[in-house]
Structure formats: structure tokens, C-alpha cells
Amino acid sequence: MALNGTVHFYTPTTIPTEDSFEIQTEKLKEENDICIYYGRDGISPDDPDYGLGISKFHNFPFVVNEDGSLWKDATLYLIWKIKHREEITPKRLQQIADYLQDFLRFCEMTENNEEAAAEQDGREIPEARRFHYLNAPIKSRRPNVMYGQYLLKIKAKQWGPKMKAVSGFYQYLIEVRKISFPVDMLERSMSSKIIATANGGGYIMEIGYNRVDQEAKTQNQDDGHIRDGEKMRPMSIAEQIIFEKAMLKFTHEELVLGSMIAITSMARKQTVYTLRLKHFISNLPAGYDPMTLRHWRQNNLSKIDLKGTHDIHVGDGTGADTKNGKRMKITIDNWLRLVIIEYIISPRAVKYRNYALSQNSDLDQYLFLTYDKKTMESTPYYHANDDINLPNWLDQGKPKKTGNGIDQAMKRFRDGPLAQECTDRQLFPVRFHDLRASGAMRFIDRNESFVDGGETTWSAVLIKLSKLMGHDSIATTQMYLDFKQHYEQKLPQLQFEFEEYRYAEIQKRILRDRVSK
């Protein structure tokens, strides 16, 4: 009986000959292009192989070539796994066979397509260049890597398990069968991985992995993306500098400041644009004339340490939304907090609040509002779940606001200041959600020197980053370190430190002057 191209053998047929591990069969016939194998009786308890787990495999999965014959190497591999991996189950063996069958079909399809193209062009493919699962003349022609790229191209499901099965097959060919290839088929390397513990902490473990699996995946992913809830593209350090310089030239204060918060705190858009005044100040000025503002600054801002940080509690019950309402805190630098406070007391922000619907208190008002000149009304960019005005808004048939206005502003920024700043290089794409990922990469970069100096460990860094980003699983945070290892190209360290210092000074000087006007 055949299923999806895999032939099942309904009596144990996994007793190999001593020399070749060949399958013992009594006869073979073809029926409707399906190979059916009839084998000998099952294993007796007296058989020396009986205790090796082989007796469990009443259905042994064969992998067949296009012409219906057995794929010998795959069959021997499956037998080897039974004899040397006691923990393997019939179901798992079937999965591996199915994955190898899919890989073989890809190899046959590629070989046929290349031969057809060559015949049409009137040329011959040299034997050394013919596509075959045992032929890898150069690294870019490795069948396992090309298969991984193909799976990603067609958006196939179970990419990881399929590639793991193929890598295991090649590892068997190389280490057990001693088949040699002109290029390294697996390129095993070591990687750091965080292992979560029951108390919410974690520890680091060095593990081996096949680099070709990662290579196949990275070559066909949308270049440089992390999938954390949705697809994000972290900006490189050089791009972040260009981005922030361009942002200083943009006149949309709510996007400018929101972007700064997102990069420094790694907060999501829904969190940034549901922040309230109370998250930054404990009281508002009695008036906004110069004298009153000067006294208010002296009483409220003089004790803030510019070199310190400011924690903001977000999530259910705080007024600021998070994914699934998770309670957590985000952290920003105090210099940015001061810039935001200057924005809060600026004529622009005061005007926007005057035209907005009231909240439970003045300090419960949104930090960022958008003003419509036609209706002379201010509304939030993103409705918080506990917004007291949201039920009435929805009753009027209006959709809940989820940051579309910020997305539109970001598009104007990309087409304007960012494009102008990229005169000597290719314009890079950026969305607001990418800022969260960019901040995470910056956090990792800043801590790398401490890890190298022995002052901390990657385990501690990733555990802290996981908390800052609000990840439920530290395995999600691990993706950012993996991304850095495979994609991130930093500027030389001295240049990076210089750019960071120079731009920090620009931020403090120019941005604070702008928002107070």
C-alpha cells in the first residue's frame, strides 16, 4: 500500500544482511506505477536483532525513486536509524521517510528541469555539473541548501523538520557511510542558546547546529527580518544613525518622539501611543506663561538625573496597553523623559489637549494626540482598551483607532527627510514596528563589550532583554541574538562609539529646543 509516494511494508523487513544492510525481499512487482514489496516473516524472539527495537516496526516506510525503484541510500539510512537509535518511533521514522521522499522529488525535478533547459538550448551539461543528491561541486550547488531555498520560496510548511531530516541524512552519508564531498555539506558550528528555567530565569548552553540549515533560510528570507509577532526588519547601526538624523528634520513631533520612545524602550506601537501624561509627570502647570513655566520646571524637573533612567509601568490597569494586557515596565533615558515633558507643556501639545475629549483626569489624557483642522477635534492615534470614550466612539459606527495615522506619518517621513538623508546610499525600508527590533539590536550591541570583558554573560543579557521586550518565552528573545550572529554588520567599534556620542549630543540639544517652541 502506498501513501504520498512512500511504500509501506506490512511485515517486518528490517533484518539486513550482515555485509550490505540490503532489504531481504522475495519478489517485486509493479502495480499502477506503485512498487509493492513482499518480504519474509517477522522477527522471532530468538533472532539476535529482536531486542534492538526492530520488532516494533511492522510498517517500514520505503522511499522510492521516480522509476519506482528503492532509493537505496535513504532506505539504508532508515534501517541504520532503527538499529542505532532505540528511542525512534515508527511514527517518527515515517515522518523522516516522508521528508526524504519530498527531498528526492525536488532533486529529480531539478535534474529534469536542468536537462530539459540544456536540451532546448542545444548544450550538454558536464557530468560534474549534473544535479544529483550526491553531487555538490561548489557550495552554492549543494542540494540540501538548494532544497531549503526551494521550500522557503514555495512557503512550504514544516521547513525546520524537513531540513533537519535532510541534514541527518547527509550526516549519515558522511560519518557512517564515509561518502566524501568536495565542499562541506553541513558546516557544523557552535551557538549560544538560552535554556529557560521554571523560576523565569535561564542559563546559557553551547549547542552545535548545521550552518547550512541557517544559510538556506537566511538566503531566502526577506532580507534581514525577525519574526516576533510580525515580520520586523532591524536597522543596522549605520541605518539607525541616518534614521535619527533624518527624523530631526521632520516636523511631526508625535512621530519623532514616539520613535525615540520605541527605539530606546523597545515598546510596541500600541504601548507608545496609549501612554498618558501621568507616565511622565505628577502634575501640570497652573498656567503656560513663561513665568509660571519657569517655576514649574524648577519645582518638577531640577531633581531629574540626566544620566539616569525612567521606568514606566504599562499593561492592564495602567492606561497604556500591551500585547494581551501583560503587566510590565518599559524604560527610557531621563534625557528623553525631559524632552517629552517639554513637549507636554509646549503650545502644540496644550492646544491638542484642549480640543480632545476629557479622560478620568487631566493626567489620564493621552501623551500623543492628533488634531483635525476641519473638525477642530483632537483624537488619540491609538485607542486604549480602557479609554472611557471608546464605547461611545464605537456606538457611532467608528472603528477603533490602531495607529494608522502614525503609519501614514511614517510613510511621509520615508518619502521626505529619510530619502533626502540617503542621497549617497540606497534608501532602506522602515516601519514603526521595526524600531522595536532596532532597539533590541542596539541593546545587544551595547552589552557585547561587557560580555567580552567578562563583566556579564549572554544569558544575563538575554534574560534582561526578554523582560524589557515583554516576551513570554526567552526563546523568542534568542532570535535577536541569532539574528545578530547571522545578519548584523556593525560599524567598527570606535566609529560606533563616536557616532553614539555625537548623536546623543545632537538629540539633547536640538530636539529639546524644537519641542519647547
What is the amino acid identity at position 241? I
- Residues of the chain short of pLDDT 70, as ranges, are 1-59, 85-87, 187-224, 227-229, 424-425, 485-517
Question: CB-based contacts of 92: which residues, under 8 Å, 6+ apart?
Answer: none
pLDDT at 88: 72
pLDDT at 45: 47
List pLDDT tens digits, range 430-475.
899 999 998 888 888 888 888 888 888 888 888 889 888 888 777 7
Which long-range CB contacts under 8 A does 237-242 form with residues at least 24 apart? Answer: 237/441, 237/442, 237/445, 237/490, 237/491, 237/496, 237/499, 238/491, 239/428, 239/430, 240/438, 240/442, 241/499, 241/503, 242/418, 242/421, 242/422, 242/425
pLDDT at 306: 84
Report the predicted TM-score, pTM, of the whole model to 2 decimal places.
0.57
Cell of residue 448, nine digits = 557585547
**Calpha distance 363→172 (Å, rounded):** 66
The 3-state DSSP class for residue 372 equals strand
pLDDT at 270: 95
CB contact at 8 A, 485 and 193: no
CB contact at 8 A, 353 and 369: yes
pLDDT at 192: 42
pLDDT at 384: 94
SS3 of 61-93 = EEEECCCCCECHHHHHHHHHHHHHCCCCCHHHH
